[in-house]
A and B are shown apart, each in its own frame.
Chain A
Amino acid sequence: MSEQDRVKRFERLALPHLNDAYNLARWLTRDAQDADDVVQEAYLRAFRYFDGFKGDKARPWLLSIVRRVAYDWLERNRPSTVVRLDEAFRDGEPEPASSSAAVQPLDPEAHLLRATELRELNQAIADLPTQFREILVLRELHELSYKDIADIAAIPIGTVMSRLARARRLLKEALTRRPPREAINGA
């Protein structure tokens, strides 16, 4: 295969997933320019590894490279956001006391779709520790299976499940902690 054919074949396979790649990079780096850089570097890296790609699922393969490049980038530029969270939230750590039995003062889910609160929802996702944010984004926005997420994040399926549960709980807590709307809008 000529080099040009190889580029064409790669482009046909990888470019349809550009928005997915960008969305993941954007949620991981939380910055438009950084996401742009990460995606470009990821595509170049993917192209270099292209011969090693045997599978038929291009999307998880590409997203796993985007993820790796994004983490490299975070470690180079914002090491604290990666390391600190690993220490704070070790997998296998006993879950905190169950929250489901407790009475929930607010009903965060019911508030999610209010236009005025969309920004806060998105901010709350952005504020999640990276490891939980990535699982949530892969599941809810990219609608990937636990198996694909496990492959992308290089963790066991059981960990995918526990991190997803933790991500949802943290998100719910963040939204519940917010002051009621009256307090935000003022008198």
Chain B
Amino acid sequence: MNPGMDCKEAEEAVHGYVDGELDRAAAARVDAHIRGCAQCRRLYERERQMSASLRQAAERFTAPADLGQRIGAALEMAAKPASREHAVSWRQLGLAASFLLVAVISSALTFRFSVPGETDRQGEEVISGHVRALVANHMTDVASSDQHTVKPWFNGKLDLSPPVVDLAREEFPLVGGRLDYVDGHPVAALVYRHRQHPITLYVWVDGSAGDGAARHLSRRGYNALGWTLKGTVFWAVSDINAEDLQRFAELLKSQA
């Protein structure tokens, strides 16, 4: 048998050779061939260069800074159903909070498999809006912790003057506001913060809505909590846990 290699064979083996994936015998045969064949040597050089250039020049995408945290939070939620046996911890949570938590857990588990209902749609939309602002790194059009700066900023931009309250002492400092869109309509988006986590509070007027029951939704590690007061719709969205978001909502309602 002829241990040599023809050009066609060398061409087929050149990628494995460049990638260091040939066994020793095969590599030796390619090696012998390209020493003796200028054409295949050029091919090898080109492929080697191509591979090296790709490694240097192709873009390596890095995960968003908070993705790990969001995954951690989603994992915690996914792991929690097992703690249902621990009745004490459930009782400690209080009835309202535990209902909310059950809903959050089950929606986290059925993530992407559930068909969004009519009320869910709004929640989906405000979560998307919040995420869009995060990804674009554009949470605020007006950045200020002063309610007397943020509130007038919306004048003339919207047909409502959103209530802006200062919750800094309750660990929810105001960060600013922006104009956002829900259902294609401009809405007020107030931005608060809890520790390092931003919260968007969406506010718009829907005269037909009246006072509605609280709604909640969890998607992709984000929680959305919605309620209606005298024809004004509110949605709070954040990656903070459902209990903290609930506390935020209660604080707002108590100051309204």
Q: Which of A35, A48, A165 contacts B15 (CB 8 A)?
A: A165
The answer to whether residues A15 and B54 also contact, given A3-B80, A7-B79, A44-B78 and a CB cut-off of 8 A, is no
B182 → chain A closest CB, angstroms? 18
- The prevalent SS among residues of A at the interface is helix
In the complex, chain B residues whose CB is within 8 Å of the CB of A23? 60-62
Q: Output the nearest chain B residue to A33 by Cβ-Cβ distance.
A: B135
A108 → chain B closest CB, angstroms? 8
Interface locus among B63-71, B96-104, B142-150, B241-249: B63-71
**What is the total of A-B residue contacts with beta carbons within 8 Å?**
130
Interface locus among B41-49, B200-208, B229-237: B41-49
CB-based contact B11/A109 at 8 Å:
no
Q: How far, in angstroms, from A140 to B47 measured CA to CA in the complex? A: 12
In the complex, chain B residues whose CB is within 8 Å of the CB of A33? 131-132, 135
In the complex, chain A residues whose CB is within 8 Å of the CB of B112? 41
CB-based contact A141/B80 at 8 Å:
no
Residue B83 is within 8 A (CB to CB) of chain A in the complex: yes
> What is the 8 Å Cβ interface bit string for chain B, positions 84-96, against chain A (1 contact, 0 not)?
0000000000000
A23, A40, A137 — which one has the most chain B CB atoms within 10 A of its CB?
A40
The answer to whether residues A140 and B62 also contact, given A15-B71, A43-B71 and a CB cut-off of 8 A, is no
CB-based contact B74/A40 at 8 Å:
yes
Interface locus among A52-60, A84-92, A117-125, A178-186: A117-125
The answer to whether residues A26 and B61 also contact, given A40-B220, A109-B50, A165-B15 and a CB cut-off of 8 A, is yes
CB-based contact A141/B43 at 8 Å:
no
In the complex, chain B residues whose CB is within 8 Å of the CB of A113? 53, 56-57
CB-based contact B62/A22 at 8 Å:
yes
A113 → chain B closest CB, angstroms? 6
Residue A61 is within 8 A (CB to CB) of chain B in the complex: no
Residue A65 is within 8 A (CB to CB) of chain B in the complex: no
In the complex, chain A residues whose CB is within 8 Å of the CB of B46? 109
Interface residues in chain A, defined as those with a beta carbon under 8 Å from any beta carbon in chain B? 3-4, 6-7, 10-11, 15, 18-19, 21-23, 26-27, 32-33, 35-37, 39-41, 43-44, 47-48, 98, 100-101, 108-110, 112-113, 118, 121-122, 125, 136-137, 139-141, 143, 145-146, 161, 164-165, 168, 171-172
